Amino acid sequence: MIFSSLTFLFAYLPLTLAVYFLAPLRWRNLVLLLVSLFFYGWGEPVYITIMVLSILIDYTHGLLVEKYRADDKKARWFVGQSVVFNLLLLGFFKYWDFLAANLSLLPGVSLPLLGIPLPIGISFFTFQTMSYTIDVYRRDAPVQRNIVSFGAFVTMFPQLIAGPIVKYKTVAAALDHRVHTAEDFALGARRFCVGLAKKVLLANSIGALWEACLAAQGAGTLTIASGWMGLLAFGFQIYFDFSGYSDMAIGLGRIFGFRFNENFDYPYLSASVTEFWRRWHMSLTSWFREYLYIPLGGNRGGTVRTLRNILIVWFCTGFWHGASWNFVLWGLYFALWLILEKYVFRRALERLPTFFKHFYTLAVVFVGWGIFAMEDLGVCGRYLAACFGGAPAWSAADGYRLRSYAVTFLALILASTTLGKRGWRKLPDWARKILTPALMALGLVVCTAYLVDGSYNPFLYFRF
């Protein structure tokens, strides 16, 4: 079940809200746990057992870490057990076939391909539960003794499938004592509607152009112009797809009394690749910095160790996204640019006019999206070669595509900036009070019409 489905919007969500708010306060975590398990099991009921197992393992390990806190060796042992369990769970379901296929290329090695479907959201909820025991050990978060409350944290349906990655310490207090207000409900509903519009009206609309350009590559008719149009289309699609989902998750969390951290901060306004990664998927960047980069030593210990740490973190960041070499290459591609910015041309970049800094950043990022999007490295290589001169410059089909998507591109560009937010804030309070419910209702009606009429409605990050 996805947020931008009619089933979710007009059946699951209204019923969930009714049951949740009719339940006494002391039962609401149990309600949240049960409705979230139903949400997760809607498409893959068998994988509820994995979710329950993950809850039990990390809940008990949190208690064991707290119990043996005085004996640091034992406490660290239980933290290590929790980390290993989560990594094995993630590794088996997400990476077994990839590792088996690649190891079987070695002489004398033959490992079976199991073809196990990937449990949706496993990359997200394993990272969340893994950070819980680490934070309990570090005293950054209190141990949770109520298994229902812990289960509600792990399975919380707003952020369960595709983030943002919510650390336990962020919601620990709200799990035990949260206040529900009409203002929070209204703000959460508004944020949800904004995310829904970004997903349905923007991401879905431009996704078809990326598919068309990819098909042109397969047919041998890709030009330089259509190649770059495709990269732009995918870059905008994944941004509005994922940031729209994050907006919906944050909005739903607010409705249920939780404050999730922001996940995007207008990343396409960045003036460097380093800045881009401070603004894009911030919950993942923060997770790797806090639980991998800093424990490895961060930028302490000299240049060689810093370079090593950057490469390790970005290898893991790429591999986290999927069991395919293109994701590894994508991670190392950004590691290279971050290293270059840090050690080679940082000062030169700072002296460039703002326009050129933005242009450089977007060029690097959108080429990176090409690597990210195409799992077949041969297809990826030929596509990017076409973009950089290995194909005719223009065709009649490019003119048709440009005319067809010109208004969409303009809307995408404007929505990627703070222009709309700044204009909204300049409106008088009375105008905002009138326009907010009107725009929410209009947005819901238009999105519903699109969902009824169209069949193209993927969530790109569900596969991660």
Is 61 part of the annotated catalytic residue set? no
Count the Cβ atoms, other than its own, within 10 Å of residue 50.
18
* Annotated catalytic residue, options 61, 180, 321, 358: 321
Query: Which of 244, 234, 29, 65 is closest to 139 using CA atoms?
Result: 65
Instruction: Report residue 219 CA to chain centroid gap.
Output: 32
HEC states along the chain?
Answer: CCCCCHHHHHHHHHHHHHHHHHCCHHHHHHHHHHHHHHHHHCCCHHHHHHHHHHHHHHHHHHHHHHHCCCCHHHHHHHHHHHHHHHHHHHHHHHHHHHHHHHHCCCCCCCCCCCCCCCCCCHHHHHHHHHHHHHHHHHCCCCCCCCHHHHHHHHHCHHHHCCCCCCCHHHHHHHHHCCCCCHHHHHHHHHHHHHHHHHHHHHHHHHHHHHHHHHHHHHHCCCCHHHHHHHHHHHHHHHHHHHHHHHHHHHHHHHHCCCCCCCCCCCHHHCCCHHHHHHHCCHHHHHHHHHHHHHHHCCCCCCHHHHHHHHHHHHHHHHHHHCCCHHHHHHHHHHHHHHHHHHHCCHHHHHHCCHHHHHHHHHHHHHHHHHHHHCCCHHHHHHHHHHHCCCCCCCCHHHHHHHHHHHHHHHHHHHHCCCHHHHHHHHCCHHHHHHHHHHHHHHHHHHHHHHHHHCCCCCCHHHHC
Query: Measuring CA to CA, which residue among 212, 220, 230 is closest to residue 387?
Result: 230
Question: What positions carry a catalytic annotation?
Answer: 321
